[in-house]
A = this chain, B = another copy of it.
Amino acid sequence: MADKFTIGLVQMKSRASAEENLTHAIAHIREAAKRGAQIISLHELFHGDYFCRTEDAKLFDLAEPVPGPTTARLAQVAKELNAALVASLFERRAAGVYHNTVAVLDADGSLLGKYRKMHIPDDPLYYEKFYFTPGDLGFPNFDTKFARIGVQICWDQWYPEGSRITALGGAQVIFYPTSIGWHPHEKAEFGAAQLDAWRTMHRAHAIANGIYAAAVNRVGFEGKPEKGDAGLEFWGHSFVTAPDGQVISEAGDSKEEILVVECDPAKSEDQRRNWPFLRDRRIDAYQPILNRWIGK
């Protein structure tokens, strides 16, 4: 049986500059490691504000190569702390080819690989299709020093297919770096149901696959109402679900927090023995799932 391992979730607010965010993220990573975390994840696009609230070609300047300057900085930190890192970045791959990418750094500072967000949303104030080319690396797993992990980014989490394929790859935990929040004008009417639906989907991934699921969201308001930008209130609530679907650690919706949670592969083993869903999958009959639509 695989060893227990400890994950860290860094729930942060965005600061004014990329450098401030990186410095602050590193401080949080150090704190998480000090508290025992071995695999530490930041939220989606931790480098700055959630810039997809507007479509502006100048914002492509925020992108950087992966590996690049930020992964170089984080690799030093990973090595120093003997901790693996899950870092979400705006990747410049080529002129006109940008991705929403997670770099997975192992505890020796090596770059284990990348995951590029596969499902790209496009909603009012979440104009991601303007910025991000859909991922082309599939649903990989990464063997960190401490555990085999998978990554799904924000919108990906609404798709059972992505989490299923990642779990079939052997991931013991899936990290979901996220930037999700409320539209201020919708919050009163729909806010509670939206948050509840988001939590429900994460928990369902853990249950259906018998894995740990770690959602790492940003927190805090970003916008300029005085300039007509109503903004988004990112709802935090980073949390970890155990393989039986129970939430075992959860942050609040208003401030920066670090969650440090021990994960026990024996719990996955036990869950999959007692609710052996993977045994009975009808892989002979799932072909229609590759269609866009089947109905009339």
Contact = CB atoms under 8 A, between A and B. Distances in A.
Interface of A: 118-121, 123, 134, 138-139, 141, 148, 155, 158-162, 164-165, 168-171, 190, 193, 196-197, 200-201, 203-204, 207-208, 244-246, 274-278, 280-283, 285-296
Contacts of A278: 292-293
B287 A290 contact: yes
A36 to B, nearest CB: 26
Given A161-B164, A277-B158, A294-B168, A193 B244 contact: yes
A115 B157 CA distance: 30
A52 to B, nearest CB: 15
Contacts of A208: 158-160, 201, 204
A168 B119 CA distance: 18
A200 B245 contact: yes
Contacts of A170: 293-296
Contacts of A290: 283, 286-287
A129 to B, nearest CB: 9
A245 B168 contact: no
A215 B165 CA distance: 26
B288 A292 contact: no
Nearest to A208: B160
A270 B291 CA distance: 22
B281 A119 contact: yes
